[in-house]
Amino acid sequence: MPVRSVVVFCGSRPGRDPRWMQAAADLGRGLAEARIRLVYGGGKIGLMGAVADAALAHGGEVLGVIPEFLTTIEVAHGGLTALVVTGSMHARKQRMFDESDAFVTLPGGLGTLDETVEVITWAQLGLHRHPVLICNVAGWADGLLAAFGRTVMDGFSAESTRGLYEVVPDVAGVIGRLTALSVQPRVGGARL
């Protein structure tokens, strides 16, 4: 099955390097042009807002999933194709997982890292086989990738965990992989 719906994890802030906001806009546009639905955290600020705005501007379908308590803090996006408001962060993560064929991580902060590590550890536990693509724009993920490698070096993770995610250098690489990938149908059932 081709990839039809992608969860994007990314920062709720713009970050210091303008290439990061640009990457978010490029990804939103690329997903829309590839007719792949964007599923994301529902905010209209930072990279989150940029990816959603660009997808919408190019005719894409965008589903936001935001917990009720963040609807004001993250300034929920009012113009999405659909916005689901959940009762908790855990319900948000579950819903995003249930809607996904693949995961993409763009630059971001602790929330982005948390979400990325979580889907990789779910893969490690055999709860899903969705692709996880880390888009290492301008080296923002170097520290994270070094930490992952360190857990292997120290004997805390199997060598095979390196195969649970793919690192791509730019948005063109992400779109190239998403359009080439064949994925399992979503099965659901995995629970936090």
Q: Does 68 help bind ligand AMP (rule: CB under 6 A)?
A: no
* Min dist. Cβ of residue 2 to ligand AMP (A): 27
Both tokens assigned to 20: 């990061």
# residues near ligand AMP by CB under 6 A: 15
The label of the residue with tokens 């805390």 reads 156
Query: Of 59 and 79, which CB lies nearer to ligand AMP in the complex structure?
Result: 79
Q: Does 101 help bind ligand AMP (rule: CB under 6 A)?
A: no
The answer for 188, left when phi > 0, alpha when psi is -120 to 50, beta otherwise, is left
Query: Of 114 and 129, which CB lies nearer to ligand AMP in the complex structure?
Result: 114
Rounded CA gap, 24 and 182, in Å?
24
Rounded CA gap, 49 and 76, in Å?
9
* Min dist. Cβ of residue 180 to ligand AMP (A): 27
Q: Does 100 help bind ligand AMP (rule: CB under 6 A)?
A: no
Binding mask 111-150 for ligand AMP (x = CB under 6 A): xx-xx-----------------------------------
Both tokens assigned to 44: 């209209």
Q: Does 21 help bind ligand AMP (rule: CB under 6 A)?
A: no
Q: Which of 108, 122, 123, 128 binds ligand AMP (CB under 6 A)?
A: 108
Q: Does 104 help bind ligand AMP (rule: CB under 6 A)?
A: no
Cα-to-chain-centroid distance, residue 135: 10
Start-to-end C-alpha separation, the chain = 26
The DSSP line for 99-131 is T-SEEEE-S--HHHHHHHHHHHHHHHTTS----
Q: Does 110 help bind ligand AMP (rule: CB under 6 A)?
A: yes
The residues that touch ligand AMP, with contacts defined as CB under 6 A, are: 11-13, 41, 43, 70, 74, 89, 108-112, 114-115
